[in-house]
Chain A
Amino acid sequence: MSADLGTGPVSNALTADNISVVFGGLVAVNDVSFTIPDQSIVSLIGPNGAGKTTFFNVLTGLYTPTSGDVRFGDRDITGQPPHKIASWGMARTFQNIRLFGLMTAEENVMVAMHSHMRAGIFSTVFGLPKQRREEKEAREVAVDLLDFVGINHTRGEYARNLSYGDQRRLEVARALALKPRVLLLDEPTAGMNPQESARFVEFVHRVRTEKKLAVLLIEHDMSVVMRVSERITVLDRGEKIAEGGPADIKSNQRVIEAYLGKSGAEASEV
């Protein structure tokens, strides 16, 4: 599924065509088209209320768009239920962390392997060899993932008792357990200080290369956005107003007016 970087033409992991979402009379997203190439790092930015989270929710199947299509690889996923889209390899984290607080870190990760596991009621009750093997493998994968994000020491602890930073990492580990083709990160650096943010940028690159997946970020911290993204899409009031590399966006007059207006000076210093 994952073509190596630089070999052959880059296919799109995700294509959204002319997406519109209307809530009652309010147009939250208006005719936005958008692609995520395989193994790219793409950001979605825009001022509050620009429709970023709505757009995210369309991609993950929580909302069905009023019009438009979402294609995931070769598959049309418009209107499919969230759990199916997730099992096909679309993983996300949440703006406000949503872990399973009273399950251990390890169990949190294992929940996300649900769709890759097969054990049913009978094989679980009677502990058939196949089920035991599957459990064992799942546990090993979970431990590997916890290692990967660097919180293996917490595997037996309840997610709720983890520190804020570890909870964020656990969310990423949990998302990775879906074996995603696209990883959606919703404001992942919220609450991080500059050093942590810098480490986070490295981490995103590492995830992309080691797990061979595409990353889509919603992010407010412009320094993070500019350093991490290969391409940036800017939404304002539900419409796409700009798209391009960090340098283009930084110099785009419309973006500066609509979004960077107040903090434009800061952003251009980065």
Chain B
Amino acid sequence: MAGTLVARARVTRRRKMSPSAFLQKYLGYLMLALVAYWMLTKFIKSPSQFFSAALDGLENGTLYALIALGYTLVYGIIELINFAHGDLFMLGTMMSALVLSKLGVDHSSLTGWLGLVFTLVVVMAACATLNVIIEFLAYRRLRRAPKLAPLITAVGVSFILQNIALHFHGSTPKQHPSALPAASFNIGSVQINQAFLVVIAVTAPLLLLMTFIVQRTRQGKAMRATAQDQDAARLMGVNVNRTISFTFALGGALAGAAGLMYEQTVGTTSYNLGQQLGLIAFTAAVLGGIGNLVGAVLGGLLIGLIQGLNDGLPLLGQLWSQSVVFTVLILLMVFKPEGILGKPTTEKV
């Protein structure tokens, strides 16, 4: 029925804007303009500093994109903010450190690279499995429950994972050696680390593969069908449970890959890493438009960029790094909750 379609009518109408709506609309633009102005002045003052800060940001941004995809996939299919996803990533960093230290991998040799690839596969598989188990144990029973229930469960799972990690890892962050090459080269006056290129070389194919799976394969079609209407999908012969499990597996695998990359580039593991990065990644997912895969990647890169510029130029400096990202999140929620590529939705009557 027409009434149940997505309503854009409210947006297209200009007449009789209340003062608060007016403020909301233009305050948003004003802030964007201020940020753009700030970036421009920094750029003119010192292009090389600008670019290196931006590159640092983009490196983090690719990781955020990987994690954000996990959020967006799960939200897209069962409308649940999987609070535990960030912690899954955190477990990924720890597993990476564990596997790599057992293998004794060092860089600059063929076995070293093979070891890295092996670790990537192991961690991705482990995180995927873990995510599927979490879904099976904690979320599946609550699929038809009121929304508050699975949300609280997800928070609980997140807390459990954090404390499991706390037990095995201890409360202090640990530093790990990197197996990636430490060399770097310059383009103009901007320094580029080889490690950064490795991160790109791993994440880009994963992102492409993900898009391919969702857009082109049978399983992807089942995912999209389940996302639209679970009951209808079931009637059309889609195994909804398996499809949701598959989605969690995909998200988990990406979180695992992000875990390894983080462990290799940043080099620290900490039990509360997931909560911080999870929130950032979720911000990225919302920024891009939740449920939208391309949006998640775009959002991840953008958030990384914002953070890189804030830390590197600096706007408020590293001390306030988290606050800057959360401020972005909050502003976003207020001014454009549907994100860059998302569609506005209203409730069905």
Q: Is B2 an interface residue (CB 8 A)?
A: yes
Given contacts A22-B8, A24-B6, A94-B349, are A49 and B1 in contact (CB under 8 A)?
Answer: yes
Chain B positions 2 through 32: 1 when the CB is less than 8 Å from some CB of chain A, otherwise 0:
1111111110110110000000000000000
Q: Are A54 and B3 in contact (CB under 8 A)?
A: yes
With the chains together, A122 CA to B99 CA distance in Å?
A: 61
Q: How large is the interface on B (under 10, 10 to 19, 20 to 34, 35 or more residues)?
A: 10 to 19
Chain A positions 61 through 88: 1 when the CB is less than 8 Å from some CB of chain B, otherwise 0:
0111110000000000011000000000
Q: Are A63 and B10 in contact (CB under 8 A)?
A: yes
Chain B positions 321 through 349: 1 when the CB is less than 8 Å from some CB of chain A, otherwise 0:
00000000000000000000000001001
Chain A positions 11 through 55: 1 when the CB is less than 8 Å from some CB of chain B, otherwise 0:
000000000011110101100000000000000000011111110
Q: Is A131 an interface residue (CB 8 A)?
A: no
Given contacts A57-B349, A62-B349, are A26 and B2 in contact (CB under 8 A)?
Answer: yes
Q: Are B3 and A53 in contact (CB under 8 A)?
A: yes
Question: How many Cβ-Cβ contacts under 8 Å join chain A to chain B?
Answer: 58
Q: Can you report 24 A-B residue pairs in the complex whose CB atoms are below 8 A from each other?
A: A22-B12, A23-B6, A23-B9, A24-B5, A29-B2, A50-B2, A51-B2, A51-B3, A53-B2, A53-B3, A53-B4, A53-B349, A54-B2, A54-B3, A56-B3, A57-B3, A62-B349, A63-B10, A63-B346, A64-B9, A64-B10, A65-B9, A65-B13, A94-B349
Q: Are A79 and B349 in contact (CB under 8 A)?
A: no
Q: Majority SS of interface residues in chain A?
A: loop
Chain B: which residue is nearest A92 at the CB level? B349
Using Cβ atoms and an 8 Å threshold, which residues of chain B touch A26?
2, 5
Q: Is A95 an interface residue (CB 8 A)?
A: yes
Chain A: which residue is nearest B2 at the CB level? A28
Using Cβ atoms and an 8 Å threshold, which residues of chain B touch A28?
2-3, 5
Using Cβ atoms and an 8 Å threshold, which residues of chain A touch B13?
64-66, 79
Q: How far is the CB of B67 from chain A (nearest CB, A)?
A: 32
Q: A22-B8, A64-B10, A65-B9 are in contact. List 17 more A-B contacts (CB 8 A).
A: A22-B12, A23-B2, A23-B9, A24-B8, A26-B2, A28-B2, A48-B1, A49-B2, A52-B3, A53-B349, A54-B2, A56-B3, A62-B346, A62-B349, A63-B346, A66-B9, A79-B15
Chain A: which residue is nearest B1 at the CB level? A49
Q: Are A63 and B2 in contact (CB under 8 A)?
A: no
Chain A: which residue is nearest B4 at the CB level? A53
Q: How far is the CB of A190 from chain B (nearest CB, A)?
A: 14
Chain B positions 270 through 307: 1 when the CB is less than 8 Å from some CB of chain A, otherwise 0:
00000000000000000000000000000000000000
Q: Is A238 an interface residue (CB 8 A)?
A: yes
Residue in B1, B10, B16 whose Cβ sees the most chain A Cβ within 10 Å: B1
Residue in B1, B9, B12, B13 whose Cβ sees the most chain A Cβ within 10 Å: B9
Using Cβ atoms and an 8 Å threshold, which residues of chain A touch B5?
23-24, 26, 28
Q: How far is the CB of B334 from chain A (nearest CB, A)?
A: 17
Chain A: which residue is nearest B3 at the CB level? A53
Using Cβ atoms and an 8 Å threshold, which residues of chain B touch A22?
8-9, 12
Q: Are B349 and A238 in contact (CB under 8 A)?
A: no
